[in-house]
């Protein structure tokens, strides 16, 4: 009986540890992907909000808006996911190429690496003595010295800063979620009511997005919220204008 109880306790501890590890990984990937998440939320909300209200201005019923909005939301999310993957992958490749070029230059002239580190440290505000001390310490670790020299001289220190898969998945999820917000009401209500509900829930989402942006970037709250709502309002006006002109 005691052995069974001990085994159950170990299983629970293992499960809790695994859950904590998974939660930690998700949290780290979230923090590392904040830029893509904000971009995805903003893009999904603004683009589909404009599309939905442009179509809703002349659509005969909610089904037509739902079809256009749903198709646009999925297509936009997939497109943004692919674009993010290619962008991050290209950025990583470019950073890796720059580090490789720096490595080749420094291997051809070993003294150049220390000179670059010293020069950049002085440019950053350190005195000659302080820069020489730091460069001397770093110089005892060649790989670290290379990354520091490349980072200071080329603006890149690590060629694998971002995972393109993680970034693109976060982009897809957030873009699709945000895009679905103005669309879903047209699946639940008649056209007239759906317009009001869609406008209301999208407004709330934009306010929350603005608050999130102000917290992440430590920006002033009201101007950030107003900016976020203003961008979406401009997209909605453009969509309405096009819808009116076509109809």
State the pLDDT at residue 160. Answer: 47
**Which is more confidently placed, 14 or 85?**
85
Please provide residue 15's backbone torsions phi and psi, each rounded to the nearest 5 degrees: -65, -40
Nearest Cα to Cα of residue 83 among 34, 25, 27, 43 = 43
Could you say which DSSP state residue 124 is in? T
Q: What are the structure tokens assigned to 170, written together? A: 């976060």
State the pLDDT at residue 187. Answer: 93
Residue 158 lies in a domain: no
Residue 20 lies in a domain: yes
State the pLDDT at residue 1. Answer: 47
CA 53 vs CA 9, 208, 245: distances in Å: 56, 21, 13
Helix axes 110-123, 128-138, angle to 10 degrees: 140
Rounded Cα gap, residues 145 and 117, in angstroms = 8
With b for 16 or more beta-carbon neighbours within 10 A and e for fewer, the 23-52 pattern comes to: eeeeeeeeebbeebbbbbbbbbbbbbbbbb
Residue 75 lies in a domain: no
- Domains of the chain: total: 1
Mean pLDDT to the nearest integer, 157-164: 61
Q: What are the structure tokens assigned to 189, written together? A: 């209500």
Q: In whole numbers, what is the pLDDT of the chain averaged over residues?
A: 78
**Which is more confidently placed, 10 or 22?**
22
Please provide residue 215's backbone torsions phi and psi, each rounded to the nearest 5 degrees: -70, -45
pTM, to two decimals:
0.69
Q: 207 is in which domain, residue-wise? A: 2-63+165-246
Which percentage of the chain shows pLDDT scores above 90?
A: 14
Residue 158: band (very low, low, confident or very high) from pLDDT cuts 50, 70, 90: very low
Residue 230 lies in a domain: yes
SS3 of residue 170 by DSSP: helix
Cα 224 to chain centroid distance, Å, stands at: 18
């Amino acid at each position: 009986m005691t052995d069974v109880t001990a085994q159950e306790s170990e299983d629970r501890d293992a499960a809790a540890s695994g859950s904590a590890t998974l939660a930690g990984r998700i949290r780290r990937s979230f923090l590392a992907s904040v830029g893509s998440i904000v971009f995805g939320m903003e893009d999904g909300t603004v683009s589909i909000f404009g599309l939905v209200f442009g179509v809703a201005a002349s659509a005969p019923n909610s089904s037509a808006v739902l079809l256009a909005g749903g198709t646009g939301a999925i297509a936009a999310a997939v497109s943004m996911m692919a674009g993010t993957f290619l962008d991050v992958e290209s950025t990583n490749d470019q950073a890796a190429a720059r580090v490789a070029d720096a490595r080749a230059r420094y291997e051809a002239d070993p003294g150049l690496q220390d000179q670059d580190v010293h020069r950049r440290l002085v440019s950053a505000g350190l005195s000659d003595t302080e820069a020489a001390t730091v460069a001397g310490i770093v110089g005892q670790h060649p790989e670290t010295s290379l990354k520091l020299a490349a980072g200071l001289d080329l603006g890149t220190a690590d060629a694998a800063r971002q995972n393109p898969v993680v970034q693109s998945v976060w982009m897809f999820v957030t873009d699709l979620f945000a895009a679905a917000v103005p669309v879903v009401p047209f699946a639940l209500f008649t056209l007239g009511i759906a317009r009001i509900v869609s406008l209301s829930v999208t407004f709330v989402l934009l306010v929350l997005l603005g608050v999130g942006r102000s917290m992440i970037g430590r920006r002033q709250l009201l101007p950030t919220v107003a900016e976020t709502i203003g961008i979406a309002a401009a997209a909605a006006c453009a969509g309405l204008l096009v819808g009116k002109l076509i109809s």
